[in-house]
Amino acid sequence: MPVGQILCVDPMDVVGPVARRRIVARALSVALAASPFAVAFGAIASASGLTLAETIGFSTFVFTGSAQFAAVAILADGGAIGAAVSTGLLLNLRSLAFGILLVPDLRGPVWWRALVSQLVIDESTAIATVENDTASRRWGFLVGGVAVFVLWNLSTIVGAVLVPTGGDTIQRYGLDATIPAAFLGLLWPRLADSTQRRVAFAGAAIAIAVTPFTPPGIAIVIAIVAVLAGRRR
Amino acid sequence: MSDATVVLVSLGLGTYALKAAGPLLLGGKVLPRWITRLAELAPAALLAALVATSTFALGDRLTVDARLLGLVAAAVALKLKAPFVLVVVIAAAATAIARSLA
């Protein structure tokens, strides 16, 4: 059996050139759109005192934007390890849903599924699920996932290395304001929906209300109860 | 090991478990309704909480400072459909300018 067939890695032969070009173009534009966010992450992480290895480690091993930002923001604020990890995991619950959505498209040997699971992110899921046939979806997932992974990590390094740190850099250049701005940017598309908006306002209100009485980061975990504001009425 | 490394390893493993659970374990089984609903709504609650605390909190204290101006500038930029990187840069610039004038 040819290697490509065993690994199910290379569905080139079934994805036509038009679909291939379309998918690659989408993957590159999505990866490029995501990379400024990684530059910002690299800058904020290194300004928050993470080493270069730790900063890149987040982008390689965690590899989900909002959870990376949340964990580093909570740590920078002196938050507990448990608060940083649990907030990140709650934000990443959607990865579970994406992984399940992609099950039919990720068939292959166990090691292959184990490897490509790391590429299950918002972008690769989006690129894959808009395609109509399995081969195109597989290709979309792989090309999208790899493109974002490579650019995401390179951009993280650019942010960590090029943005100056130390002293009063954070205050002087307003770098601390980039964190709420980044989170608002992630939240923004969700605010178009009235249920999501209700949950968001409840979440913000709860976090503010409990902040004076809880250790840093815990307020964010408690804000999860705001999902009750999204119950169907 | 630094706190950041501990968080990185735990969050990395936990996130991987979430990503891989479907492809490795479930053969296309359907998730209970409440989990999908939670996954739909949880990001809005958590992201809004993060916006609020990273704007108003200093440790366990609440405060209003130049970060709020940055957030307002970011909201205006988003409203005008500015690209992500510009939103972040505008927020930093607004905050930096406000501080230099103060």
pLDDT band, very low/low/confident/very high, at A11 (cuts 50, 70, 90): very low
If we measure between CA atoms, which residue out of A203, A176, A144 comes closest to residue A23?
A144
Contact A90, B42 (CB under 8 A): yes
Mapping DSSP to helix (H, G, I), strand (E, B) and coil, where does residue A50 land? Answer: coil
Locate tokens 């940017």: which residue?
A: A185
If we measure between CA atoms, which residue out of A31, A41, A43, A29 comes closest to residue A166?
A43
Contact A181, B71 (CB under 8 A): yes
The ipTM assigned to this model is: 0.87
Mean pLDDT value across chain A: 86
User: Which residues in chain A are contacts of B60 at CB distance < 8 A?
Assistant: 211-216
Closest partner CB to A66 (pick from B47, B52, B54): B47
Contact B53 A176 (CB under 8 A): no
Which of 48-107 (A) contact B at CB < 8 A? 49-51, 54, 57-58, 61-64, 66-67, 69-73, 75, 77-78, 81, 84-85, 87-104, 106
Q: Identify the pLDDT of residue A2.
A: 47
Which of 1-20 (A) contact B at CB < 8 A? none
Q: Could you tell me which chain A residue has the CA closest to the CA of B18?
A: A96
Among A115-129, A187-201, B3-17, B34-48, name the one with the lowest average pLDDT: B34-48
Q: How far apart are CA A159 and CA A64, in angstroms?
A: 16
User: Which residues in chain A are contacts of B44 at CB distance < 8 A?
Assistant: 187, 190, 196-197, 199-200, 203, 226, 230
CB-CB neighbours of A80 under 10 Å: 17
Q: How far apart are CA B47 and CA A224, in angstroms?
A: 10
Q: Identify the pLDDT of residue A164.
A: 66
Segment (H or E) for A72: helix A65-76
Could you report the per-residue pLDDT of B36-52, keeping only the tens digit for each? 788 788 888 988 998 99
Q: Identify the pLDDT of residue A10.
A: 52
Which of 142-181 (A) contact B at CB < 8 A? 171-181
Mapping DSSP to helix (H, G, I), strand (E, B) and coil, where does residue B57 land? Answer: strand
Is the predicted pLDDT of residue B18 greater than 90, yes or no?
yes
If we measure between CA atoms, which residue out of A87, A46, A26, A38 comes closest to residue A63?
A38
CB-based contact, A112 to chain B, within 8 Å = no
